[in-house]
Amino acid sequence: MTLTIGMLGYMAPEVVQSKQYQNTADIFSLGCLFYLMIYGELPFSDQNHQIYLYETKNKKIIHHGNTTSQKTQFIINSMLEYDQDKRIGWAELYKLFDQM
Protein backbone atom coordinates (compact mmCIF):
# COMPACT_ATOMS: atom_id res chain seq x y z
CA MET A 1 0.00 0.00 0.00
CA THR A 2 1.06 3.58 -0.50
CA LEU A 3 -1.99 5.63 0.59
CA THR A 4 -0.91 8.33 3.06
CA ILE A 5 -3.55 9.06 5.65
CA GLY A 6 -3.46 9.66 9.39
CA MET A 7 -2.19 11.96 12.10
CA LEU A 8 1.54 12.63 12.05
CA GLY A 9 2.17 11.70 15.68
CA TYR A 10 0.85 8.18 15.09
CA MET A 11 2.02 7.38 11.55
CA ALA A 12 4.69 4.82 10.77
CA PRO A 13 7.79 6.34 9.16
CA GLU A 14 7.24 4.46 5.91
CA VAL A 15 3.73 5.94 5.63
CA VAL A 16 5.00 9.49 6.26
CA GLN A 17 7.60 8.96 3.52
CA SER A 18 4.91 7.66 1.09
CA LYS A 19 6.79 4.38 0.72
CA GLN A 20 5.27 0.96 0.25
CA TYR A 21 4.17 -0.31 3.63
CA GLN A 22 2.92 -3.47 5.27
CA ASN A 23 0.31 -4.12 7.92
CA THR A 24 3.02 -3.56 10.53
CA ALA A 25 2.45 0.17 9.94
CA ASP A 26 -0.65 -0.30 12.09
CA ILE A 27 1.49 -1.87 14.81
CA PHE A 28 3.67 1.26 14.86
CA SER A 29 0.56 3.45 15.22
CA LEU A 30 -0.77 1.24 18.01
CA GLY A 31 2.61 1.51 19.74
CA CYS A 32 2.31 5.31 19.65
CA LEU A 33 -1.16 5.05 21.16
CA PHE A 34 0.01 2.68 23.93
CA TYR A 35 2.91 5.03 24.71
CA LEU A 36 0.50 7.96 24.92
CA MET A 37 -1.86 6.03 27.20
CA ILE A 38 0.95 5.02 29.58
CA TYR A 39 3.09 8.18 29.64
CA GLY A 40 0.63 10.93 28.68
CA GLU A 41 2.64 12.12 25.67
CA LEU A 42 3.56 10.91 22.21
CA PRO A 43 6.92 9.16 21.81
CA PHE A 44 7.99 11.43 18.92
CA SER A 45 7.50 15.11 18.08
CA ASP A 46 4.57 15.82 15.79
CA GLN A 47 5.70 19.39 14.97
CA ASN A 48 6.63 18.64 11.35
CA HIS A 49 7.53 15.75 9.05
CA GLN A 50 11.31 16.28 9.13
CA ILE A 51 11.59 16.29 12.94
CA TYR A 52 9.19 13.36 13.22
CA LEU A 53 11.15 11.23 10.74
CA TYR A 54 14.46 12.11 12.38
CA GLU A 55 13.15 11.14 15.82
CA THR A 56 11.51 7.89 14.68
CA LYS A 57 14.85 6.82 13.22
CA ASN A 58 17.27 8.15 15.84
CA LYS A 59 15.55 8.86 19.15
CA LYS A 60 15.86 6.30 21.93
CA ILE A 61 12.45 5.50 23.36
CA ILE A 62 12.25 6.96 26.87
CA HIS A 63 10.26 5.09 29.49
CA HIS A 64 9.57 7.59 32.27
CA GLY A 65 10.10 6.36 35.82
CA ASN A 66 9.44 2.83 36.95
CA THR A 67 5.81 2.79 35.89
CA THR A 68 6.06 -0.03 33.36
CA SER A 69 7.43 -3.54 33.44
CA GLN A 70 10.42 -4.60 31.36
CA LYS A 71 8.07 -6.70 29.23
CA THR A 72 5.81 -3.73 28.52
CA GLN A 73 8.84 -1.62 27.60
CA PHE A 74 10.06 -4.38 25.28
CA ILE A 75 6.67 -4.60 23.58
CA ILE A 76 6.46 -0.84 23.05
CA ASN A 77 10.04 -0.68 21.74
CA SER A 78 9.29 -3.57 19.37
CA MET A 79 6.16 -1.83 18.11
CA LEU A 80 8.02 1.46 17.56
CA GLU A 81 10.86 -0.10 15.54
CA TYR A 82 11.74 2.26 12.68
CA ASP A 83 12.46 -0.49 10.14
CA GLN A 84 9.20 -2.15 9.17
CA ASP A 85 11.04 -5.37 8.29
CA LYS A 86 12.40 -5.57 11.87
CA ARG A 87 9.20 -4.41 13.57
CA ILE A 88 7.30 -7.00 15.59
CA GLY A 89 4.56 -8.77 13.65
CA TRP A 90 0.97 -9.38 14.65
CA ALA A 91 1.40 -13.07 15.54
CA GLU A 92 4.37 -12.37 17.84
CA LEU A 93 2.59 -9.38 19.37
CA TYR A 94 -0.52 -11.47 20.15
CA LYS A 95 1.72 -14.12 21.70
CA LEU A 96 3.37 -11.56 23.98
CA PHE A 97 0.00 -10.15 25.04
CA ASP A 98 -1.22 -13.67 25.87
CA GLN A 99 1.79 -14.11 28.17
CA MET A 100 1.03 -10.97 30.20
Question: Residue 80 class from Cβ within 10 Å (0-12 exposed, 13-18 middle, 19+ buried)?
Answer: buried
Q: How far apart are CA 46 and CA 68, in angstroms?
A: 24
Q: What is the Cα–Cα distance from 32 to 13, expressed in whole angstroms? A: 12
| pLDDT surpassing 90 at residue 3 | no
3-state secondary structure of 66: coil
pTM as predicted: 0.90
d(Cα 63, Cα 48) in Å, to the nearest integer? Answer: 23
- Per-residue model confidence as pLDDT tens digits over 19-50: 999 999 999 999 999 999 999 999 998 888 89
Alpha carbons 46 and 54: distance in angstroms, whole number: 11
pLDDT tens profile 45-100? 888 889 999 999 999 998 987 788 999 999 999 999 999 999 999 999 999 999 98
The domains found in the chain, sorted by start residue, are 8-98 (1.10.510.10)
